[in-house]
Structure 1
């Protein structure tokens, strides 16, 4: 795989958009970080060099649909605009732009599925083991960098919750969201009603990391721990955050004992 070509073509694509837009910069940097993270995970599970390169390429391209989404709809919220993962897969494969990046078509099916399914609530059952593996790799890498994005923007005026920190600290966590958290599952978007629901949703992403090396990377980076340290002034919300913290700790202890 010609990594130089992939990066050169991806950068040229991004440069078609408004480079003064913070969202464009954010997603370009996110794509670069995810490509490095997924490479670390792939090496950590002892994939071949060819498969490491494939994983890296998926990391670069996984959010290619975000840029047109931002230009067209001025938002990264899929349910208010377009499913960015499906759009990215359509751009690459429906419109044939994957050949801008890669001349070899042998892994097209794996790339198409990994890009198109990286944001779904649950992966479909009919995937082959190889397809599932690369879908899991990109989903883990994406989650890991999402923790960084949320943690580093937490105290900024333009944070991802679009509210000042004092207001966020007053928000409730909905019963439906907490019910899913107690099952140690990711949270369905349609059940998120408050900004703290979205915050809890980010915390719950940890429950569905697929690989031990992914959890090690989360621990090393420290961003998730910073998110766990957020405290609410709403007593019920703080109690529910404590419950989520306990579930995360319990899961970590169990996985350590099982050697996962």
Structure 2
């Protein structure tokens, strides 16, 4: 079986290879444990079996293990420069580090698939069964904490410019159409910083569990995230009110 405390201690030892005083490294360390908490919440609310609950927490702990080398090398979250999920799979399974976190190898295919798929635009259609369950749990947990990060992180850290500057930019019509179509937004579709901001809100269209939508509602993350930016552009302000309405209605519909 799994020993999560043993895995956590091994994870902390792994992080000692990196500069944990670096803001980006610290953010990802905090994110990891918040995703673990979000996965725990989903498993409890959805009444996931004890074995799969424990496995989901281990996957949450390891899902971003590739981020730390990415940040050390590039000081950037840009997966066009470095695919952190792919590198995480390499570190854990090709380099054999997975045995430092769990001695039993029977769960390896599930862990590998969940980590490999956690940041893809969508889960590949061939993924099914328990692998699909764990892909859905980690993707939801990751997105739930992304709303927390966007609620607390400074605009300059997210965009490289001030919130006031972001709010002066327009929203591209294709981005608005994606929201109207209830779908996530690909990186290549984004033109402005506002487009990027809306793409984070659109994560709700990839959530899988009613409890995930309830979490967003209870934390009021949709409204709080939208209200963080001062929309100095009147057209942008109007567009964001449309985004708010569509997203909040969608959340309500998915809870029940």
TM-score (norm 2): 0.95
String of CA shifts for 1:97-126, please: whole Å, max 9, x gaps.
111111011111111111111010011101
Q: Which residue of 2 aligns with 1:164?
A: 162
Q: Which residue of 2 aligns with 1:89?
A: 89
1:66-145 map, 5 Å: 66-79=67-80, 81-145=81-145
Alignment of 1:59 with 2:60, yes or no, is yes
For the aligned residues, what is the CA RMSD? Answer: 1.4
Q: Which residue of 2 aligns with 1:7?
A: 8
Runs of 4+ in 1 over 3 A off after TM superposition: none
Provide the secondary structure at the position in 1 that maps to 2:171.
coil
Provide the secondary structure at the position in 2 that maps to 1:119.
coil
Instruction: Tell which deviates more after alignment, 62-71 or 244-253.
Output: 244-253
Pairwise CA distance, 1:12: 0.5
Pairwise CA distance, 1:249: 2.4
Alpha-carbon distance between aligned partners in 2 of 1:173 and 1:157, rounded to the nearest angstrom: 17
Instruction: Tell which deviates more after alignment, 158-167 or 120-129.
Output: 158-167
Alpha-carbon distance between aligned partners in 2 of 1:200 and 1:157, rounded to the nearest angstrom: 14
Instruction: Tell which deviates more after alignment, 244-253 or 101-110.
Output: 244-253
Alignment of 1:186 with 2:176, yes or no, is no
Q: Which residue of 2 aligns with 1:235?
A: 234
CA contact (8 A) 2:156 2:163 kept: no
Alpha-carbon distance between aligned partners in 1 of 2:155 and 2:208, rounded to the nearest angstrom: 33
CA contact (8 A) 1:219 1:225 kept: no
Q: Which residue of 2 aligns with 1:27?
A: 28
TM-score (norm 1): 0.93
Pairwise CA distance, 1:192: 1.1
Pairwise CA distance, 1:133: 1.0
Alpha-carbon distance between aligned partners in 1 of 2:40 and 2:124, rounded to the nearest angstrom: 24
Note the residue ranges of structure 2 that are not aligned, 5 or more in a row. none
Provide the secondary structure at the position in 2 that maps to 1:160.
helix
Say how many residue pairs are matched.
Answer: 254
String of CA shifts for 1:27-77, please: whole Å, max 9, x gaps.
011000101110110121111111111000011100001000001111011
Alpha-carbon distance between aligned partners in 2 of 1:215 and 1:177, rounded to the nearest angstrom: 22
Pairwise CA distance, 1:158: 3.6
String of CA shifts for 1:145-167, please: whole Å, max 9, x gaps.
001111111xx364311111110
Pairwise CA distance, 1:231: 4.5
